[in-house]
Structure 1
């Protein structure tokens, strides 16, 4: 997955609309389905927990399938990109301890993976206005850059290959 420039205003606008739409669909769908099930299959004891739960589960499944179906729609471009970036960064984070150990041994591929992680995190945090840890990220990047200079490597986030993560 390659890093892309994202229009922050468009991303925030579309993300907010998707979130509001999902919340509204969950509320209306789960209540509607639950009430329909209660009307068709009433319980004499008055406990309708299982019908309410079924309404929530069915609504979540419908919302998930709609999001999956429309994830390639133009409206969802930025939102889908950020979701995929977060997923990719999560894969890297799970292997970060092994990657950092490999970097200490001079592993160039591990350096490129971590560089991609730092660049992706920086972009993600700027998009989400989460700049609290940007200072720490700058320190980590400087440490990685120093290690790359030691082994005479030029770091480039474009060189990241998700398949290479399987080696760690």
Structure 2
């Protein structure tokens, strides 16, 4: 995965549209399905929890299927890219203890994965206007830069490939 520049305003606008659409679809879909099921299969005791739950589940699955079907549409380009980037960064975060150990030993792949993680996190935090932990990120980046200098490695986030992490 490569880091690429995206239009922040367009991303925020499209993300907000997707979120509002999902919320509205979940609300209308779950209530509509539940009301239809209650009408078709009334309960004399008045407990319709299972029909309401089924309405929410069916609506959520439908929304997920629609999002998955439309994920490659140009309207969803930025939203999908950020979603995939977050998944990749979470994958790296789960492997971080092993990556840190390998980086200490001079492993270039581990260092480039960490570089990608730091650069991707910085990108996401700036995209979401979440700059509270940038100082912490700068400290981690400085440690990584020192390790790279110690092992005479040139860091390059563009060299990161997710499949390279399988051995960690």
Give the TM-score normalised by the residue count of structure 2.
0.99
Deviations 1:5-26, CA, capped at 9 Å, x for gaps: 0111110010000000000000
Q: Which residue of 2 aligns with 1:80?
A: 80
Supply the distance in 2 between the matched residues of 1:125 and 1:14 (Cα, whole angstroms): 18
Supply the distance in 2 between the matched residues of 1:18 and 1:102 (Cα, whole angstroms): 40
For 1:45-56, what aligned pairs fall within 5 Å after superposition? Answer: 45-56=45-56
Q: Which residue of 2 aligns with 1:61?
A: 61
Q: Which residue of 1 aligns with 2:156?
A: 156
Q: Which residue of 2 aligns with 1:121?
A: 121
Deviations 1:70-101, CA, capped at 9 Å, x for gaps: 00001100000000000000100001011101
Matched, 1:97 2:97: yes
Alpha-carbon shift at residue 105 of structure 1 (Å): 1.1
- Give structure 2 stretches of 5+ with no counterpart: none
Supply the distance in 2 between the matched residues of 1:65 and 1:24 (Cα, whole angstroms): 16
4+ runs deviating over 3 angstroms: none
Q: Which residue of 2 aligns with 1:4?
A: 4
Residue-pair matches, total: 168
Supply the distance in 2 between the matched residues of 1:89 and 1:61 (Cα, whole angstroms): 25
Supply the distance in 1 between the matched residues of 2:124 and 2:110 (Cα, whole angstroms): 21
Supply the distance in 1 between the matched residues of 2:156 and 2:121 (Cα, whole angstroms): 15
Q: Which residue of 1 aligns with 2:140?
A: 140
Give the TM-score normalised by the residue count of structure 1.
0.99
- Give structure 1 stretches of 5+ with no counterpart: none
Pairwise CA RMSD of aligned residues? Answer: 0.6
Q: Which residue of 2 aligns with 1:13?
A: 13
